[in-house]
Amino acid sequence: MTRVAVIDVGTVTARLAIADVEAGRVVRLAKRSNIVNLGEGVDKSGLLLPEACHRLLECIDAYLQMVRDSHVAAVCCTLTSASRDARNSGELLAQLEARGLYAQVIPGDTEGRLTFLGVAQDFVGERLLVADNGGGSTEFALGMLGHDGVLSLDFVKSIDVGCRRITEKFLNAGDPPSASDLAAAHEFAFGEFSKTANEHRDELEDVSRMVLTGGTSTTLVALQKRLVPYDSSRVHLATLTLDEVIGQEQILAALTVAERTTLAGIQPKRAPVILGGVVAVGDAMRAFGMDEITVSESDLLFGLSLVVAATVDGTESPVGWKPAL
């Protein structure tokens, strides 16, 4: 058994997982998640703000202490959409390296492959469409994880549509936003997603299900079930219909950010961007013709844990990408 630590720095959240991996399977995984909003203002300025980097580094320092106490074989850190977009992400990488953390800004294609690998652990032998809806981007991957452990992907596509990007582009002018601003957000998200859906329409015909990961989708389940406190056992592999997503959007769109924080099932720090995320989820479902989705917590952290363990053990990476440890 190999114990690894993986850190995923997204546009909204920074997450840590400490996982035990055996024979190509995650047998135990403990997670921590903090909303640090690294991508604040990046869509407009193209820069990571100093205060956002400070929030992240405080979070990373706490994570590294947990890693040191866990006696792991290796630690890996990846950064995604906001860091891909920011011109000054190299400065943040240098600050992480000074802490002994050799972080990598990964391409959207790699992010999508890692997420699919994590999600597919629960659906071996099924042909899946996986969507990872984040703060700055959404990754779509279509394919299957075979019973032989081989990953076969028809396509992977990263699209610059996420909860924070939509919020900053369209939904910050009013609180709550106007109907016209909400309509513009939908036009943007649906238009971007439809390009990929239409390009791969023939390949999508025999998909067994669409699986979503990310904070918006798990929050939608928590809102729908009014989960206080959050209960991952009631969220993982739960289903949501398009009508339920539309219903939650209507509720959220009528509320101010402060009012959203009082809803059962939402983290207060996610309230400013949750409506943008729900817009993205609903339009992803519409664009790909899905009336129902399955929500998974076995996401990029699972996939990254498997790849890091394979690297430590000297075996081939399941996604063709080798992390820096």
Q: CA geometry: angle at 250 spanning 184 and 299, to 5°?
A: 80
Which percentage of the chain shows pLDDT scores above 90? 95
Model pLDDT, residue 90:
96
Q: DSSP letter at 25?
A: E
234 within domain boundaries: yes
The number of beta carbons lying within 10 Å of the beta carbon of residue 243 is 10
- The CATH number of the domain holding residue 83 is 3.30.420.40
Looking up tokens 């909400």, which residue turns up?
182
Q: Is the pLDDT of residue 10 over 90?
A: yes
Q: Are 160 and 228 in a shared domain?
A: yes
**Domains in the chain: how many in total?**
2
Contact between 301 and 17 under an 8 Å Cβ cutoff? The reply is yes
Q: Are 217 and 288 in a shared domain?
A: yes
Q: Are 23 and 82 in a shared domain?
A: yes
322 within domain boundaries: no
Mean residue pLDDT across the chain:
96
* Per-residue burial over 160-174, b = 16 or more CB atoms within 10 Å of its CB, e = otherwise: ebbbbbbbbbbbeee
Closest C-alpha among 268, 252, 261, 265 to residue 219:
265
275 within domain boundaries: yes
Model pLDDT, residue 23:
87
- The CATH number of the domain holding residue 260 is 3.30.420.150
115 within domain boundaries: no
Q: Are 100 and 130 in a shared domain?
A: no
Q: Are 47 and 147 in a shared domain?
A: no
On the 0-12 / 13-18 / 19+ scale of CB atoms within 10 A, 267 is middle
Model pLDDT, residue 249:
98
Which percentage of the chain shows pLDDT scores above 70? 100
Q: Are 187 and 259 in a shared domain?
A: yes
pLDDT tens, 67-123?
999 999 999 999 999 999 999 999 999 999 999 999 999 999 999 999 999 999 999
Q: Is the pLDDT of residue 29 over 90?
A: no
Domain range for residue 201?
A: 122-295
Q: Are 279 and 303 in a shared domain?
A: no
Q: Are 31 and 68 in a shared domain?
A: yes
74 within domain boundaries: yes
